[in-house]
């Protein structure tokens, strides 16, 4: 049995990972082909984003058939081969389960629209408040109303995301049993991990107009959410102690996460929360251009770290995923300090209390692509907001500037394997353009360079396995109000870790308040850390991990 506190998870977005048949789309055989690369990184689990049959309106998060592989990704035999080959290398698979909604092409919804009452009750249909007025004023997370009118029924169905993604009715016990059946099917295939997409939205509260916002307070962390997760646990993954689970928690509260990921709550192993990735938003508004708030970033991360520990609950810790911009472009430096800032950002996350997640290409320091034309974008959210921003009065260039920072496509460009055409991702035309810097940022170069970002990530993954303090220690913020330094201490059974990060390119002398001669350096992104007594001289984006045995 693997202890998930000592593990690291590597996220793969198959569509952009590696293409073996030249159709421009990554596939399951491509993941199998690159297992030795992943093994070299040292991770324990591969989280695969959805590869189920889907019309791909939302890149697979609109599931048409939960039991079959979309032909564009391969076959069930390809999946079984991947599972078998991963297991040979000590790597387990984590699948992405999208249970808040299905595709409108899912047979359940097709039958619902055909008038089958059983399946109509699988979804949320409501009468309008008046002719042409939806049941509530809730907004879709992708823009526009969260309700779609069906003339034949004179009713609306709820879609918190795209119009092609109708929400499931979890208050219907049959729905809950159906999704548990899906989980058990993949357990029987040997899957040992599950990530549940926006799972804290499955229990809706009152259906009424929101006079304070977009409706999210009526469906986030809803009234029966903990009951439904405990039930899903009991009916499926809870019967195998080897399985780890993580819930993606949209706009959640920490108090709910104490239960979602509590050691004894029998819900999930850990949670993704996103508050720390809204520090370059304006409130909850993503589609703006504002500098990131470093103080807020630290406050949020430390608040969650300290309080989740106090309640014996577990975090997933991360910067990147398929919905987030590349972190080195977001909080680091794409220029002269690209390597140093990428390593520093990795250190911050990997030494925290929680299970770290690495998103494909993050270990290479991949950057945002810098797209300049709407034809280069593929993401439905980005395409919608390009129009919405201009409707709000912004000119086209401003809309492009915002997309270049916040679009989900920033993280979805193909993995840069080599300096050959299309970064070695495909022999065909990639489904989305490759980032232009693949000649200098690619896996072939970095796996051969001992000082590379890739090898730095390898070291961080190995340190978590070697030092119990990283996996099990408490967390104590150090100088939390400092405007430039991100530092903290971890303690466990006489082991102490002291992690220091200069978050900016400005050099600084900092009194750390500790006799650094008592510590050894486990890892640093500069050849030799500089200090005299308690004063550290920190160079641009410098990062140092100190250790001592008390």
C-alpha pair distances (Å), 412 with each of 25, 35, 189, 399: 12, 20, 28, 19
d(CA 343, CA 360) in angstroms, rounded, equals 15
Considering only CA atoms, give the Rg of the chain.
23
What backbone torsions phi and psi does residue 442 show, to the nearest 5 degrees?
Answer: -160, 160
Give 295's DSSP letter: H
80 is catalytic: no
Helices 453-466 and 338-350, axial angle in degrees (round to 10): 20
- Pairing state of beta strands 244-248 and 270-272? parallel
- Asked if residue 63 lies in contact with residue 52, where contact means CB atoms within 8 angstroms, the answer is yes
In whole angstroms, what is the distance from residue 157 CA to residue 444 CA? 49
Residue 525 near residue 545, CB atoms below 8 Å: no
Contact 346, 328 (CB under 8 A): no
Which residues pair with residue 511 across a beta bridge? 535
| Helices 173-188, 225-235: crossing angle, 10 deg rounding | 40
- Residues 228 and 224: their CA atoms lie apart, in Å, by 6
Residue of 7, 84, 76 whose CA lies nearest to 41: 7
Which residue, among 444, 377, 435, 428, has the nearest Cα to 406 in the 3D structure?
377
Contacts by residues 210-218 (CB-CB < 8 Å, ≥ 24 positions apart)? 210/136, 210/137, 210/138, 214/138, 214/139, 215/136, 215/137, 215/138, 215/139, 215/146, 216/138, 216/250, 216/251, 218/136, 218/138
What one-character DSSP code corresponds to residue 130?
B
Cα separation, 106 vs 122, whole angstroms: 11
Buried b (16+ CB within 10 A) or exposed e, 210-249: beeeebbebbbbbeebbebbbbbbebbbbeeeebbbbbbb
Residue 260: CB partners within 8 Å, gap ≥ 6? 200, 226, 229, 247, 249, 252, 267, 268, 271, 313
Token pair recorded at residue 472? 């099990």
Q: Is 248 a catalytic residue?
A: yes
Q: Which of 44, 62, 70, 248 is catalytic?
A: 248
Q: What share of the chain is helix, strand, coil (3-state, %, to 5)?
A: 35, 20, 45
In whole angstroms, give the CA distance from residue 535 to residue 517.
11
Of the candidates 19, 44, 96, 197, the residue annotated as catalytic is 197
H/E element, 271:
strand 270-272
Active site residues per annotation: 197, 248
């Amino acid at each position: 049995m693997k202890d998930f506190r000592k593990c690291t998870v590597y996220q793969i977005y198959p569509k952009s990972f590696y293409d073996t048949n030249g159709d421009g789309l990554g596939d399951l055989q491509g993941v199998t082909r690159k297992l030795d690369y992943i093994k070299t990184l040292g991770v324990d689990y591969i989280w695969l984003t959805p590869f189920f049959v889907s019309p791909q309106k939302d890149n697979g998060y609109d599931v048409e058939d939960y039991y079959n592989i979309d032909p564009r990704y391969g076959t069930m035999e390809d999946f079984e081969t991947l599972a078998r080959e991963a297991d040979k290398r000590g790597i387990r698979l984590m699948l992405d389960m999208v249970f808040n909604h299905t595709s409108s092409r899912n047979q359940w919804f097709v039958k619902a629209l055909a008038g089958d009452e059983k399946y109509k009750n699988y979804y949320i249909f409501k009468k309008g408040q008046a002719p042409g007025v939806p049941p509530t004023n809730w907004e879709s997370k992708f823009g526009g109303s969260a309700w779609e009118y069906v003339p034949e029924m004179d009713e609306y169905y709820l879609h918190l995301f795209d119009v092609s993604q109708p929400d499931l009715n979890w208050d219907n016990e049959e729905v809950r049993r159906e999704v548990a059946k899906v989980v058990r099917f993949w357990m029987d295939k040997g899957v040992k991990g599950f990530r549940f997409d926006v799972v804290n939205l499955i229990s809706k509260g009152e259906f009424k107009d929101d006079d304070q916002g977009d409706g999210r307070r009526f469906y986030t962390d809803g009234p029966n959410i903990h009951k439904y997760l405990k039930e899903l646990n009991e009916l499926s993954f809870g019967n195998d102690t080897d399985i780890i689970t993580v819930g993606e928690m949209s706009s959640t509260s920490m108090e709910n996460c104490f239960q979602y990921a509590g050691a004894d709550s029998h819900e999930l192993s850990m949670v993704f929360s996103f508050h720390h990735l809204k520090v370059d938003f304006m409130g909850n508004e993503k589609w703006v251009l504002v500098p990131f708030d470093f103080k807020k970033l630290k406050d949020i991360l430390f608040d969650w770290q300290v309080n989740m520990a106090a309640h014996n609950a577990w975090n997933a810790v991360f910067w990147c995923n398929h919905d987030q911009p590349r972190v080195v472009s977001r909080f680091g430096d794409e220029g002269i300090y690209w390597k140093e800032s990428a390593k520093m950002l990795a250190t911050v996350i990997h030494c925290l209390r929680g299970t770290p997640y690495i998103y494909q290409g993050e270990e290479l320091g991949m950057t945002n692509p810098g797209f300049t034309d709407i034809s280069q974008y593929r993401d439905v959210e980005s395409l919608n907001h390009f129009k919405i921003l201009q409707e709000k009065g912004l000119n086209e260039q401003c809309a492009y500037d915002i997309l270049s920072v916040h679009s989900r496509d920033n993280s979805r460009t193909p993995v840069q394997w080599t300096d050959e055409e299309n970064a070695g991702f495909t022999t065909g035309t990639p489904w989305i353009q490759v980032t232009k810097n693949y000649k200098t940022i690619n896996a072939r170069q970095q796996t051969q360079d001992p000082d590379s970002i890739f090898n730095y990530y390898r070291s961080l993954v190995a340190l978590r396995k070697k030092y119990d303090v990283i996996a099990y220690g408490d967390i104590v913020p150090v100088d939390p109000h400092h405007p430039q330094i991100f530092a903290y201490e971890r303690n466990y059974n006489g082991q102490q870790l002291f992690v220091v990060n200069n978050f900016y390119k400005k050099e600084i002398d900092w009194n750390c308040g500790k006799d650094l001669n008592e510590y050894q350096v486990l890892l640093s992104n500069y050849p030799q850390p500089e200090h005299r007594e308690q004063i550290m001289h920190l160079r641009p984006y410098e990062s140092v991990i100190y250790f001592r045995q008390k």
